[in-house]
């Protein structure tokens, strides 16, 4: 790469650290060199000096100085995917065409790497390259403990179009959650601004009417069990960190297994009820890079399927995810 670039932070990259943002866009840039560019003020965010741990916001402009040609890694030094991980990630594919691959991400597996996270989806995408010149690219992400639909672009052009769909909200996402208790009313539209909570106890969001950023979720109860638990269909109209988890807790019905936002009340006793997070990206509809709409849905992970069986929730009751037909 030659010359200065100015790149915009996408909605999907909101709250991503500067160093991880560079790792995503320039994977061959060494950490030591990145730190030097930051120290000397050559990298700037909205015209101001930046630090590696600074959190970016959607819409900000990142100044990228000339980095020079990044040498190709010799074959022996290329990141390798273990046979077990390659088989696992290929088994997660639920849709593949010339432009798009869709995965059913398992719970407990991070989408991207970070401090102390060496095993993640992004690091396994080489196994999905097949005969393409480059590995597929992430265009959005799911939290580590959230399962379900995850889209990657097979080419740079396709990834750009897909990322733009997420940024413009042309993409619609429907999640399934099992919550403790039953929301009242049973369906509606919740608008509760979210802000990052103070403190150093890990990333945590909270409702903040004064300083929070707009966060809107549409929800409906598909089935409920005597006020003990309910199966919700939730569609986020904004893309804030942990939005559905915070909104569910704010309604007094924390997502089952979400001790972070629901504490002890987020767990139920019973041999058929897992303590894992019960949040699943069930369905996605978005414009396809080559025209038309792409509609995909992902089956429940094992622990949620067992909970559905325990409470006798019938998947057929959900109907069409986007309210048609």
| Chain segment 192-231, per-residue pLDDT in tens | 999 998 876 567 899 999 999 999 999 999 999 988 999 9
Least confident of 3-7, 68-72, 160-164, 211-215: 68-72
* Nearest in space to 222 (alpha carbons), one of 302, 151, 282: 282
Q: What is the pLDDT of residue 274?
A: 92
The residues, any chain, with a CB within 8 Å of residue 16's CB and separated by 6 or more, are: 9, 24, 55, 56
* Nearest in space to 63 (alpha carbons), one of 82, 40, 87: 40
Helices (H), ranges, 69-121: 83-91
pLDDT tens-place string over residues 126-167:
999 988 888 899 999 999 999 999 999 999 899 999 999 998
The residues, any chain, with a CB within 8 Å of residue 305's CB and separated by 6 or more, are: 299
CATH number of this structure's domain 81-167: 3.30.2350.10
CA distances from 280 to 60, 188, 274, 303 (A): 30, 20, 14, 11
CATH number of this structure's domain 172-318: 3.30.2350.10
What does DSSP assign to residue 197?
P
Report the relative pairing of strands 137-138 and 279-287 from DSSP bridges: unpaired
Fold adopted by 5-64: 3.10.290
**300 backbone dihedrals φ, ψ, rounded to 5°:** -65, 145
The residues, any chain, with a CB within 8 Å of residue 3's CB and separated by 6 or more, are: 66
Domain with CATH 3.10.290.10 in the chain: 5-64
Reported pTM: 0.76
Check residue 289 and give left, alpha or beta (phi > 0: left; psi -120 to 50: alpha). Answer: alpha
Task: Enumerate the β-bridge partners of residue 62.
Answer: 7, 45
Query: Mean pLDDT over all residues of the chain?
Result: 89
Least confident of 6-15, 103-112, 260-269: 6-15
Q: What is the set of active-site residues? A: 143
Domain with CATH 3.30.2350.10 in the chain: 81-167, 172-318
What does DSSP assign to residue 74?
P
Question: Which tokens is 10 given?
Answer: 């996408």
Share of the chain above pLDDT 90, in %: 65
Specify whether the CB–CB gap between 7 and 62 falls below 8 A.
yes
Specify whether the CB–CB gap between 78 and 129 falls below 8 A.
no
Q: Which residue has the higher pLDDT, 128 or 12?
A: 128
């Amino acid at each position: 790469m030659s010359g200065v670039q100015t790149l915009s932070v996408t909605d999907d990259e909101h709250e991503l650290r500067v160093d991880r943002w560079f790792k995503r866009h320039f994977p061959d840039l060494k950490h030591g060199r990145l730190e030097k560019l930051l120290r000397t003020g050559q990298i700037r965010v909205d015209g101001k000096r930046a630090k590696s741990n600074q959190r970016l916001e959607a819409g900000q402009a990142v100044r990228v100085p000339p980095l020079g040609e990044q040498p190709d890694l010799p074959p022996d030094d290329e990141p390798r995917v273990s046979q077990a991980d390659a088989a696992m990630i290929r088994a997660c594919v639920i849709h593949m065409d010339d432009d798009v691959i869709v995965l059913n991400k398992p719970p407990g597996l991070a989408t991207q790497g970070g401090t102390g996270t060496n095993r993640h989806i992004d690091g396994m995408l080489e196994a999905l390259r097949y005969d393409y010149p480059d590995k597929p690219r992430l265009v959005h992400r799911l939290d580590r403990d959230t399962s379900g639909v995850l889209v990657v672009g097979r080419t740079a052009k396709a990834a750009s179009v897909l990322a733009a769909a997420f940024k413009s909200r042309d993409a619609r996402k429907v999640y399934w959650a099992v919550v403790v208790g039953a929301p009242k009313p049973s369906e509606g539209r919740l608008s509760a601004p979210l802000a990052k909570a103070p403190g150093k106890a890990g990333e945590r969001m909270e409702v903040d009417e004064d300083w929070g950023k707009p966060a809107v979720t549409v929800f409906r109860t598909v089935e409920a069990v005597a006020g003990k638990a309910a199966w919700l269909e939730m569609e986020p109209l904004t893309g804030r960190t942990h939005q559905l988890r915070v909104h569910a807790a704010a309604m007094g019905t924390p997502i089952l297994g979400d001790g972070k936002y629901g504490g002890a009340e987020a767990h139920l006793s019973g041999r058929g009820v897992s303590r894992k997070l019960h949040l699943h990206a069930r369905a996605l509809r978005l414009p396809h890079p080559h025209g038309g709409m792409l509609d995909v849905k992902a089956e429940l992970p094992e622990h949620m399927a067992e909970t559905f069986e325990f409470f006798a929730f019938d998947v057929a009751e959900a109907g069409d995810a986007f309210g048609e037909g």
